[in-house]
Structure 1
Amino acid sequence: MSIKSNRVPLVEVRDLIHIGSPLPFKVLDSLERLLLNEGQVIQDEGQFDALNERGAWAERASVDAERKARAAANSQPVLSTLSHFDQWERLQWQFDKLARGLARRELPGTALEPFYDELLARLDRDPDAAIFLCTRQEDRRFALYPIRHSIHCAVLTTLTARHLGWDSARVHSLGRAALAMNLCILELQATLAEQGEAPTKRQMDQIRAHPSAAVTLLREVGITDEAMLDAVADHHEHDGGGGYPNGKNKVSPEARILRAIDVYMAKISPRAKRPGILPNDAVRQLFQQSPGDALSMGVIKTLGVHPPGSLVKLQSGEIAVVTRRPTAGIQPLVATLSDRQGRPRAETHHRDSADPEFAIVAALPVSKEFSRVAAERVYGLIND
């Protein structure tokens, strides 16, 4: 007598999944890592295909319960309208599929260009909201960490290059380098995000080799942009030596910015076994490591002292999240999450921290009370 597996492949529950409707169960990958939580939305067929490529499945007990509930209720799915922030999630799944196709040499390198153009269009709708998503590292789906990291680095390198006044071609070259720099270690990055111990020697060898391996891959899929390739090759090199894989003494501005953003995002991003560091601490460390350096200052001015998405305490006693970089000075706009005693409240007030009553008095780590901050709560609906 055969025993049924607890895993039901996603293709076998396609009838229970409706594009644009909340999922009735969580979805895991072949290694039992969370891909989507119950209630999250699959936005299009491309995302469904990407999930299947990862060997996605649902738990049999949840599937059976959902089938019984639907049979009893004879209910119809409720379709959701995708918000601006849902579209960022959709973009993540598009890149998941694209990155895997490039890593397998199944897609041409030119496929990066339309994806980056779509990322730019999304970024230009609201740059501060995009930084908020980079900073609010609340997602526990560590299987997707390398995909999010690449997109977040592309967002911040693009904004930094624009702040520095670079022309469009140079900005695009750097942004695509951010997307491509880790194509050879996507699965390794996901593993390390959940791994409690230090990398093994084999893993360290892969890490040290990945810049050169990525360049080889990119050339094989037809990338000929030498500035992009140089940035990927050198994004772990240091001016003056000491980096890898070649210990170069002189590194291009593109590679230096890419390295700074890569390190910044890695520092603030939590892993399964440790929290990320505070964003303002990561900004301070960047300044301390390269005081007066024009490129580092470009990154710092792009982010601000307290980047959007940072949790802060105000002089009023309220806990707030930063929503907008300042137009002048260093005091950002914030949205409250608590009352004046620091107790969580659903009501949100927008404050200007340049006002002494609402000045920022401390940066805060993520706590249980404020572990999740819905972007829609503080930005409202952003029309496409």
Structure 2
Amino acid sequence: MYVPLPIDDITLGEPLPVNVWDPQGQLLLRKGHTIRDERHRQWLLMHNPQVKEDEYRAWTYRYTTAIDRALRGNQSLEAIAGVTRPMGFDDAVEVEPDARPIDEIWADLHAVLTLLLHQGEQAQDFVGRFLRLEQRMQALLRSRIDDSLFVLVQMLFDRAMGYSASHALLCAVIGRLVAQTLGWDEARQQSLQRAALTMNLGMARLHDDLARQDAALHPEQRRAVWEHPLRSEAILRRLGVVDAVWLELVRDHHEQAGGTGYPQGRAEVGAAAQLLRMIDVYVARISPRHARSGLPSPRAARDVYLDASGAPTPLGTAFIKALGLYLPGTFVELVNGEVGVVARRGRRANTPLVLAIVTRDGLPRGEPPLRDTSEPAYEIRRAVVPDEVKVRLQPARLLARL
């Protein structure tokens, strides 16, 4: 059963809390996507947008619960007005990590993080909401790391998803994995993960805009990009963050040893900040933008694995050991002509497990078989950028086959 979407109440540019359908049951917009502008809103109106009744009830319940909580807490009218924004996301609602398909859980976390990054200092209880998001992430990562990488990479490849949150979530998960490979203690891993999630807090909206921009940065944008590490650090301090390592990593995530980085040109940069920069660069390079395709995963991995002289670095070695050359969720062509999506990291860096989604004749497969690329018949011929793949994937359905 469907009910009309209250489209006039939805804030442009903010993630949708529900899937949007037309009256015939065709998906118009996925949860977490945005209504970009007034023209996009009018296009949706022409298709008579609907939402599923149970999702609408859950959305409305979160909305009214948030109002009730604010009223009972005797909050100011201004604060209540902020709570009652019609998007109605309430990340304080506890959700069992395994209660729903993993792609839905990550879509919710993406929406929560998008709001936090966009609202910044105006967000109510930023730190509390952030920590709850982190707890939900950790519940997923304790047992479903490759599934999470798969979903997050697919979200990164989806240009309709807010780029800043997609980038941050994938960087955070990669950071955890590499830090574990390096044997860093829990406190250092946690600071790295938190820095990855918030390093672009000072330019989150601009980050989203630049992913959709064809033209070169204009001077004001360039200045904002240059200054965002310091701005992000300052915002976190004002929000009450006191973790010195977290703050330092956010400040230094674009610095390079020798003084060639920015914004301060520091000659000495700690290992954790160097790792965060490496991950940031890798994720940016595999990301498709409006004006270009992303780089193939092996090319981006080799770029961060080697230093300027072409020699592997200790951090780069740990990166490849943790992730391999082919990240789950990326695409490859096999020697037998099939195109597949990487489902699991393999025993070696260049031999992942792959689900074959397109036959050698170019036809999509209904039930993709699993291929072990360590076998000669299924070796990887080349990496494939996402723009070459025309098959629309259903991550939860694919992952259920593993």
Residue 34 of structure 1: how far off its partner (Å): 6.9
Q: In 2, Cα distance between the equivalents of 1:353 and 1:236? A: 36
> What does 1:364-379 align with in structure 2 at a 5 Å threshold?
364-367=384-387, 369-379=389-399
| Letter of the structure 2 residue corresponding to residue 140 of structure 1 | R
Structure 1 unmatched runs, 5+: 1-6, 13-17, 57-80
CA gap 1:332/1:378 in 2 versus in 1, 3 angstroms: same
1:133 aligns with one of 151, 162, 187: 151
Residue 377 of structure 1: how far off its partner (Å): 3.6
1:243 aligns with one of 261, 266, 280: 261
Higher mean C-alpha deviation, range 337-346 or range 43-52: 43-52
| Letter of the structure 2 residue corresponding to residue 327 of structure 1 | R
Residue 353 of structure 1: how far off its partner (Å): 0.6
Secondary structure of the structure 1 residue equivalent to 2:157: coil
Q: In 2, Cα distance between the equivalents of 1:373 and 1:192? A: 26
Q: Is the CA contact 1:83–1:381 (under 8 Å) kept in the aligned structure 2?
A: no
CA gap 1:33/1:133 in 2 versus in 1, 3 angstroms: farther
Give the equivalent residue in structure 2 for 1:45. Answer: 59
Structure 2 unmatched runs, 5+: 1-5, 23-27, 64-81, 89-98
CA gap 1:21/1:202 in 2 versus in 1, 3 angstroms: closer
2:379 aligns with one of 359, 362, 376: 359
CA gap 1:135/1:102 in 2 versus in 1, 3 angstroms: same
Is residue 322 of structure 2 the alignment partner of residue 302 of structure 1?
Answer: yes
CA gap 1:192/1:163 in 2 versus in 1, 3 angstroms: same
Give the equivalent residue in structure 2 for 1:348. Answer: 368
Give the equivalent residue in structure 2 for 1:338. Answer: 358
Q: In 2, Cα distance between the equivalents of 1:31 and 1:47? A: 27
Higher mean C-alpha deviation, range 25-34 or range 371-380: 25-34
| Letter of the structure 2 residue corresponding to residue 376 of structure 1 | A
Residue-by-residue CA offset, 1:165-200 (whole Å, 9 max, x unaligned) = 111111111100111111111111111111111111
Q: In 2, Cα distance between the equivalents of 1:47 and 1:185? A: 32
Give the equivalent residue in structure 2 for 1:95. Answer: 113
Q: In 2, Cα distance between the equivalents of 1:163 and 1:190? A: 31
Give the equivalent residue in structure 2 for 1:67. Answer: none
Higher mean C-alpha deviation, range 40-49 or range 273-282: 40-49
Q: Could you state the TM-score of these two structures normalised by the residue count of structure 1? A: 0.80
| Letter of the structure 1 residue corresponding to residue 300 of structure 2 | A
Residue-by-residue CA offset, 1:240-263 (whole Å, 9 max, x unaligned) = 111001111111111111111111
Q: In 1, Cα distance between the equivalents of 2:223 and 2:61? A: 32
Residue-by-residue CA offset, 1:178-225 (whole Å, 9 max, x unaligned) = 111111111111111111111111111111111111111111111111
- Percent of aligned pairs with the same amino acid: 30
CA gap 1:10/1:164 in 2 versus in 1, 3 angstroms: same
| Letter of the structure 1 residue corresponding to residue 283 of structure 2 | M
Q: In 2, Cα distance between the equivalents of 1:213 and 1:158? A: 24
Q: Is the CA contact 2:343–2:399 (under 8 Å) kept in the aligned structure 1?
A: yes
Residue 116 of structure 1: how far off its partner (Å): 1.3
Q: Is the CA contact 2:305–2:315 (under 8 Å) kept in the aligned structure 1?
A: no
| RMSD over equivalenced CA pairs, Å | 3.3
Give the equivalent residue in structure 1 for 2:96. Answer: none
Q: Size of the alignment, in residue pairs?
A: 345
Q: Is the CA contact 1:46–1:94 (under 8 Å) kept in the aligned structure 2?
A: no
Q: In 2, Cα distance between the equivalents of 1:305 and 1:118? A: 28
